[in-house]
Amino acid sequence: MSTIKDQAGRWCPQSLGRSLLEFARCHPRWAWRPSVIARIGLALAILAGLCAGPAFAAGTDDDIFPGKTWAVRPPEELGLSRSKLEALRGLVGGRGCVVRHGFMAFTWGDPTRSADVASALKPVVTTLLFLAVQDGRLPGVDAPVADFEPRLRTLNHGKDATITWRNFAMQTSGYGLVESPGQAYAYNDYALALYYDTLTQQVFRQSGTGLLRTRLAEPLGFEDSFTFNAFGPSDRPGRLAVSVRDFARFGLLYLRNGRWRGRQLLRPEFVQMATHSPLPAATPVTSGREADMLPGQRSIGGSRNITPVGPGYYSFNWWLNGTNRPGQRLYVDAPADLYVASGHGGIRCLWIVPSLDLVVSWNDAQVEDHDQSPGHAGTRCNQAARLMREAVVAP
C-alpha cells in the first residue's frame, strides 16, 4: 500500500484515498460494499479536517511541542525581532523566556531556576478543577463546594452553602465577606486557600505536589524542580514554585487548546471556558465588610480583598485583555486575545497571545503595575505587552 503521509510527514487524505482505491482493486469481493464505502468516506473526512488546520498544528508533534528539552530556533527564523526581544529583556529584568510556534526563541537570566510564582499559580489550580470534572470527580464547575466541605452549609447561617467551584475560580465566592456567593467580586486569598485545600485533599485526596506531578508536570515533561510547597510544607502550602521554561510548557498547553504531543490532556471546551468567560464588567466589587470563616482558615498569602481590578477582565483565574465598566482595556497596546497569569502585580507572569502564537514567561521582574494598567499605556506591564506585539514581524 502506498504512503498516506506527504513528504513533510503530514497525514494526507489524497494519498490515503489513492491507497484505499488500490486496496479496493486488490479486494474486489467486499471492498465496494456500502458499509465499507461509508467507513472510507468517514476516514477521509476526518483526515481532511485534520490536514486543514494551522500549518504548525498539521506537522509532527515534535515540530510543535518540546520533548525532553525545548527545541531552540533563532528569533529571526520564527518571525521575531531580536532587538525588540532584547528591549523586552531590558524592561522586564529578572529571568524569562519567549516561545513561538512551539520553539524556544529567546531567554534571559536563568530560565531553569524554580521559584514561587505567587498568584500566577491560580490558573494552574483551576486547571486541576477542570481535570476533576473531566475525570468525573465533580459533575461540573457549578457544583456546590459544600458537597466536599459540609461545614459551609451552616457557616454564616447558611450564606456560604451555595458557594460553587466557579465562584472560587471567578473570585465571587463571598467567602469571609458579607456578600452572598456570586453577588460581588473580591480578590480573596483566604478563598483561594480553601479552594486549593478542598480540591486537593477532598476531591482528589492527593497532595498538591503529587497531583501536579501526575497530571501536569510529567505529561508536559517539566525539566526542572516543581512543588506546591514553594516555602516548605508548613508555610502557605499551595504556593507554586516552577521555572519560567516549565511554566511556558503550561502556557503552550493552553495555546494548543489542551493538546500535548498527540494527547488531549485537557478538553478544548475547558480551555475555551477559561479564556473566554470574563466576569461581566458591571459586577459589583465587595464592600469589604467581613464575615465568619471556617475555624482555622488560612490564607494562601494575602487578604480577603486585595484589589478591585477584575470585573471585565477576570476569567477562571486568568486575566483577559478585555474592558472594564468605563471601557478601559487592561493592556491598551496588546492584542485583544491576550490572556495572562499574573502574580505580585506582574513580577511573576505567564503571557499567552494566540493570534501571535506566542508564549512569554518571566519571574523576579521589575514589573509590578498590573493593577494600574487598565487604560494606561505608560505602565511597565503595558510597555512589555507592546514590545511583545512589536517583536512579531512576520506571521
CATH of the domain at 266: 3.40.710.10
Q: What is the mean pLDDT of each run of 10 residues along the chain (395 residues)?
A: 36 41 44 44 41 36 79 97 98 98 98 98 98 98 98 98 98 98 98 98 97 98 97 93 98 97 96 98 98 97 97 98 98 98 98 98 97 97 98 93
Say how many domains are in the chain: 2
Does any domain span residue 238? yes
What's the pLDDT at 37? 43
Instruction: Tell me if 69 is assigned to some domain.
Output: no
Per the structure, the complete domain to which residue 21 belongs is given by 13-52
Place of cell 486575545: 337
The identity of residue 388, as a single letter, is M
pLDDT of residue 86: 98
Q: Are residues 170 and 30 in the same domain?
A: no
Cα–Cα distance for residue pair 386/351, rounded to 1 Å? 12
Same domain, 266 and 309: yes
Q: Could you tell me if 36 and 183 lie in one domain?
A: no
What does the pLDDT read at residue 155?
98
Q: Are residues 98 and 21 in the same domain?
A: no
Question: Does 62 fall in a domain?
Answer: no
Residues in contact with 226: Cβ distance below 8 Å, sequence separation at least 6, in sequence order: 114, 209, 212, 213, 217, 240, 241, 242, 243, 246
Question: What contacts 100, CB < 8 A, 6 or more positions away?
Answer: 75, 78, 79, 80, 356, 357, 358, 359, 392
Partners of 95 in the β-ladder? 363
7 domain-assigned: no
Residue 124: closest CA among 60, 50, 200, 56: 200
In a domain, 180, yes or no: yes
Whole-angstrom distance, CA of residue 289 vs CA of residue 375: 29
- Domain assignment of residue 58, yes or no: no
Residue 375 covered by a domain: yes
Question: Is there a single domain that holds both residue 151 and residue 20?
Answer: no
Helix 268-275 with 244-255: angle, nearest 10 deg: 100
Q: Which residues contact 349 (CB under 8 A, 6 or more apart)?
A: 120, 340, 341, 342, 343, 360, 361, 362, 363, 365, 367
Whether 362 and 370 have beta carbons less than 8 Å apart is answered as no
- 265, 309 contact by CB (below 8 A): no
Question: Do 88 and 135 share a domain, yes or no?
Answer: yes
Residues 45 and 119 in one domain: no
Does one domain contain both 370 and 288? yes
Co-location of 117 and 21 in the same domain: no
* Rounded CA separation 242/232 (Å): 14
Within-domain flag for 190: yes
- Cross-strand bridge partners of residue 290: 177
pLDDT of 16: 42
Instruction: Please indicate, yes or no, whether residues 24 and 100 belong to a single structural domain of this protein.
Output: no
Q: How many CB atoms lie within 10 A of CB 345?
A: 20
Reported pTM = 0.84
pLDDT of residue 395: 82
Partners of residue 270 on adjacent β-strands: none
Q: What is the DSSP string of 361-379?
A: EEES-S---GGG-TT-TTS
Does residue 37 sit in the same domain as residue 182?
no
What is the model's pLDDT at position 64? 81
Do 24 and 153 lie in one domain? The reply is: no
Record the cell numbers describing residue 256, joined without a space: 494548543
